[in-house]
Each structure stands twice: as structure tokens, then as C-alpha cells.
Structure 1
């Protein structure tokens, strides 16, 4: 099965770069015709803005849609968005619009960077970051982890806007909330425990958090507690963060929560 190269958020960011660049219907029509005649027919009605919405809807309905040249639509959209980014001389300070910055941030989250309008991988493909995010969202919805899903959505939104402190805070709350909700799903009585720490202890006692893998135990010197401390090294009210640090936290939480959600999805083993 084909593996997603980019996340949905990256595809939408690329569409928004196109929308912020194209001034006429003819410009959009030319690009859509290059993507495929069927695509142009489905995105040919309404205002220019509405046609871009049709493009996103078309992609959502069939993320694996192929263009007429045999490539994938999502790749074509993202590559077009990147080609529309400005190129700066080495002596210049890059100045990108808000939508252009969002596209660059979304690509970095997917494990890519842009150099002179070329997309280059920065993280191993084996991490499958777009698939991991899609899977986390799907499992949160499937198991009705509504509170956790809300915090996750807010973390994604804050990160897309470049609000690192807010993104960091929501990631920590999401991680805590997810473990709380998993504990309560496994044992409704966990809702009445005194703290989240107690609920994590309960998850370890049931074997959900594996002490043999150092996920829990060892006098607090374990993976879960280590990750918890890394998310907010300055306590519940962290100082300012930068993009690299916030992205690192997001990747840590994304990959860890995918593992836990996949485990919950097949629990008991």
C-alpha cells in the first residue's frame, strides 16, 4: 500500500500558498489541467476561493488519487506550493508570508526542509510521521477520547501558527489526558483516583505500561516520567521555546502516543 508522504495539514498549507499567489481563474485552471482533466472538472465551479476549497475536498475524498502523469496528487500539490515560495539571495534575510511560513513548518513536521524550492528529507522515512499523525487522530476518534483529541488539535493548531509555548503546553496536557482516559477506559474506577500519577501507577499494575521495558517503575526513573519531564523542563509554566525544540517535543509525543494507542486498540494482548 502506498504510504503518505505528507500530512493533510501540509497539503492544505500548500493549497493556501497557491491561493495566496494566484490572482485569476486561468492560473488555477492551468495548474489543475496539469494535475488531471478530472480534477479540473471537479474544481471548476464558483469563486476562486471556492475552487480551492473544492481542491481540498477532492483530495480528502481520495488521498491516493493519481495525476495524469502517474504521480500522486498530494505530492503534486505540495511540490507546486513549494515552487511558489520566494527564493532569496544568501545575503538576504528570508521574509515569508504567514501562509508560506506555515507550509515550511508543516514540511519540517513531516521530516522535510526546503532549499531553493527543492524538498529534501531531514528525518528517516521509516518514522512515517504523516502516517503516525493520521493514525493517532483516527484512534482518538475511534475510541472517543474527546478531551485528549481536543488538546491534540489545539497543539497542532498552535504549532502551525508558530505559537511554541502554547503548542508545548497543549502537548503536555494532551499526553496527561490521554493516559488518564486510557486508565478510565480500562478501569472506570480510575476516575476516582487522587491524581494522574495514581492512574499511571494503575496502568503499570495492569501491565499496560511495561516495567520490563522501563516504561514505568525504577523509582521514577523510567521512560514515561522522563518524557513527562522533558515536555516541560521548567515545570507547568515553561519559558519560551523555539521551533526546533517545540517540533522535537511534538515528534516525541506523536510517536509515543501512537504506540500507546495501538496497544490500547488491541488490549488485552
Structure 2
């Protein structure tokens, strides 16, 4: 989820200057019509920011926040790029909005090819890591975790960071369960009702898969 400073700066800079009608249009587009209320534009913007921050653990709402911010940023980037065709003195986004540009970087975001995207460090070799994970999952026939992992990666590639995190958590849970089933058998695992106790079974292998205290 985004920092409160980033959310506030972006919405005040790019949304608040718009008319009440345009703000309402954005609210309807992103299903925020019951949130973006108030007598002034600042009040509407503050309510949107507060709503996002209060629900920062909700993947769907976090995705809405990203989509709204992405649209506002992308439109500003496009406007600046188009303006540079006719006016050479028009600045780049990072020059015109240095604070927002810095805050974006701090939250792991970058403007790449004219679009706001999550920025993955070049030291992270995602393609090879992804191939290795799929090879291992396929080898041990972990079908349910595979589905969650694919959804997580699709969400990541589409910039739906919170949904990707949610699917990764589900992937890890289902992976632990299926690992335990492979080791102890399906019937034994079905006799254990609580999820945390199922994962705890992996601490009983020799050597342990992981510590029960983790």
C-alpha cells in the first residue's frame, strides 16, 4: 500500500484542482461515490485518502488506489510529453513534480515508458526464478499452489500489487498443506482440523522443513 504522504500529495496535486463534476466522475469510475463526499474538493480528497489508508490491508481497495493514482500520473505524463512537442521549455515529470517523483520511488514505483509501474530492481532475476519455481511445483504435482501462484504473478504483472500479495499468502498456505500431505498422507492431514497445526507437522520431519516457532 502507498504511504499517506504519497496518496495525499498525488490527490491534492492532480485530483483536487479538477471540478466537482470531474471528481465525481472519478469517484463513480473507481466506486468511490460514497467516499468522495463533502462540501469542498479538499474534503472529498481527504475522505478518499482516509478511506485508502484505513483499508490498506484490503487487496481490492489497494488495487483501486493504485488504479486511481496510475490514471492521474499517466495523464500528467502524457500531457507533459505532448506539450514538449510544441514547447521545449516544458519540464519532465521528475522536474515539475520532484517531491511526488521522490515519494513514488520510495514506495517502489517508477514511470517507465510513460506509465506508472511498480519498479523491480534489476538485481532480481524474475524470469529464471519463476522458471525454477514452476519446475519444482510441477515435479511434485502441487496443483492448488500452482493456481494461486499463477494468479499472483498475473496480478503482479498487471500492477495489482495488493492482490498479488494476497495470492502469494494463499499460495504459501496451500503449498505447506500439500507438502504435509505428501509426507504424512492425505488421511492423516484431514484428521487435523486447524491450519496452524497442519503447518506444524512440517516441523516434525527429520530434518524439519521449518521451525514451529516461525
For the aligned pair, the TM-score class normalised by the smaller chain equals 0.3 to 0.5
TM-score by length of 1: 0.36
Larger radius of gyration: 2
